[in-house]
Amino acid sequence: MELTEKQLQWKDEFRAFVDEVVVPHADVHDREQYLEPQVIQKMKEKGYLGSMLEKKYGGMELDWVTIGILNEEIGRGCSSVRNLLTVHGMVALAILRWGSDEQRNHWLSTMAAGEKIGAFALTEPEVGSDAKNVQTTAVLSDDHYVLNGHKKWITMGQIADVFIVFAQCEGKPTAFLVERDSPGLTTTPIDSLLGSRGSMLASLHFENCKIPKENMVGTVGIGLSHVGLHCLDYGRYTVACGCVGLGQACLEQSLQYARSRKQFGSVLGENQLIQKMLTEMTVNVKAARLLCYHAGHLKDQIDPDSIMETWNAKYFASKMVNQAASDAVQIHGANGCSGDYPVERYLRDAKINEIIEGTTQIHEMLISKNSLRNT
């Protein structure tokens, strides 16, 4: 696949933005465990928080390959900033695809502008991959739904203005929009994570939380099968592309270090074992990038195979970046274990990417079952 001239222009713009705005703050995001407001503000000004939305709502209406390039470049700079793009986009696209006209008109313009931030609330303390068995409940009472339950590991939960929450309604998984100031909703920050520490995670507690009945997204029972899977498809795609960016960062830092660090009278890059790691890193980053471009191209064609190809891309890219980050630390030696070098952060962030939006093992189950059905 070759990028179009316009896509190449976007790539240059995104890369310049990341180098100027995101990279200088990445270590602060990691150490202080929050996203600096000026970085979010500049993302808003560029329109990136509306990259996935139609122009009629003030979005950029980028094609899927270009959305992938944006997430790759942001992921190269800071995984936590890229996580904002992911969860915000998941909520926006859920409203765009499954929301009512009133929900679209109320939320999408402000979300495209970044005036309102969205977060995806599916995971619970006892429910992760087994999403259909969420324990949070929603019961209709007059003109309101009353929610009770507990969500955990909610990315951007500390700053989000609106959550898409999945709860059992009439015994079926159903999606709802819940605003931060809804009575009965409280949030508790989660910190000291292994990686992606600037993602501002929170736990959500619903205690007789009342929301208007108009806040249901779609209908009863399609929360996971339609709304949730639509969100997760976008999530997997952007995480996969972010892994490519993080892998590229590992490669660039490793090449720079291998050119400058001298051992035994020569630079590291002349050592054949170092060359082997650099070779594998180079080829695997390129392979993951092509898988992502292919998935994005199929999405642009509205090809149903895009879902399967997104699974493939997320599976390969998240495994790839963990090996790349591990090798980057190895190449740096003791320096790679120090916060003075970014590869230490890359390694921690890489592991997070292999867990979110479907673990490696869940993807192995999905991909193998699909292959068995179709071969």
d(CA 117, CA 156): 8
Backbone angles phi, psi at 52, to 5 degrees: -95, 0
Query: Residue type for 12, please?
Result: D
Task: Write the DSSP symbol of residue 127.
Answer: B
Largest CA distance in the chain: 79
What is the DSSP annotation of 201-264? -EEEEEEEEEEEGGGEESSTT-IIIIIIHHHHHHHHHHHHHHHHHHHHHHHHHHHHHHHH-EET
Q: What six digits make up the tokens of 319? A: 């495994």
Q: To which residue do tokens 């500049």 refer?
A: 42
Active-site residue, selected from the candidate residues 72, 309, 344, 357:
357
d(CA 325, CA 249): 9
- Are residues 234 and 89 in contact, defined by beta-carbon separation less than 8 angstroms? yes
What's the chain's length in residues? 375
What is the DSSP annotation of 13-82? HHHHHIIIIIHHHHHHHHHHTS--HHHHHHHHHHTGGGTTS-GGGT-----HHHHHHHHHHHHHH-HHHH
Give the SS3 label for residue 110: helix
Q: To which residue do tokens 């942001």 refer?
A: 74
| Beta carbons within 8 Å of 289's beta carbon, 6+ residues apart | 72, 244
Residue 151, strand partner residues: 204
357 carries an active-site annotation: yes
- Would you please indicate which residues are annotated as catalytic (active-site) residues? 357
